[in-house]
Amino acid sequence: MTPFGRRVRDLRAEKGVTLTQMAHAIGVSPTYLSALENGRRGRPTWALVQRVIAFFNVIWDEAEDLARLAEVSHPKVTVDTAGLSPQATELANLIAREIAHLPPEAVAELLGRLKILRRRG
């Protein structure tokens, strides 16, 4: 499941909306919406994100959060380390190889640490 997919699913549950109801309302098939929620489809388009925002009638921070989550929700990531340090290439390869084997708390710890470092940088 992607961050965007999880948030959409949570919003649907909060509002008491079925996947089929939402899919028809935003103009996609239930199969596509299910795949999007479960990370079997790529990052949603800007237009689709806008339809989701309108469907849930969210504004300001929550709308920005949905758009941000969509940006970081591509389930198949390619990392280009050309021109970066050997350590950067090693890190990218190590994460790619090990991420499926890391416990959720380790993933959360690494993600939190990277976010802290990004804010400092």
Q: How far apart are CA 45 and CA 86, in angstroms?
A: 34
pLDDT for residue 69 is more than 80: yes
- One domain, residues 10 and 57: yes
**Residues 65, 15 share a domain:** yes
Per-residue pLDDT band for 121 (boundaries 50, 70, 90) equals confident
Residue 29 has pLDDT above 80, yes or no: yes
The verdict on 45 and 100 lying in the same domain is no
For the chain, how many structural domains are there in total?
2
Q: Mark whether 92 and 38 lie in a shared domain.
A: no
Q: What is the pTM of this model?
A: 0.76
Query: Is 79 inside a domain boundary?
Result: no
pLDDT band at 17 (very low <50, low <70, confident <90, very high): very high
CATH, residue 48: 1.10.260.40
Is 46 among the domain residues? Answer: yes
Average pLDDT, the chain: 94
pLDDT at 18: 97
The phi-psi region of residue 29 (left if phi > 0; otherwise alpha if psi is between -120 and 50; otherwise beta) is beta
Q: Are 50 and 39 in contact (CB under 8 A)?
A: no
Q: In this structure, are 17 and 66 located in the same domain?
A: yes
Confidence of residue 52 (pLDDT cuts 50, 70, 90): very high
pLDDT > 90? residue 85: yes
90 and 59 part of one domain: no
SS3 sequence, 95-121?
HHHHHHHCCHHHHHHHHHHHHHHHHHC
Range of the domain at 12: 3-71
Helices (H) and strands (E) in the chain, counts: 7, 0
Give the pLDDT of residue 88.
94
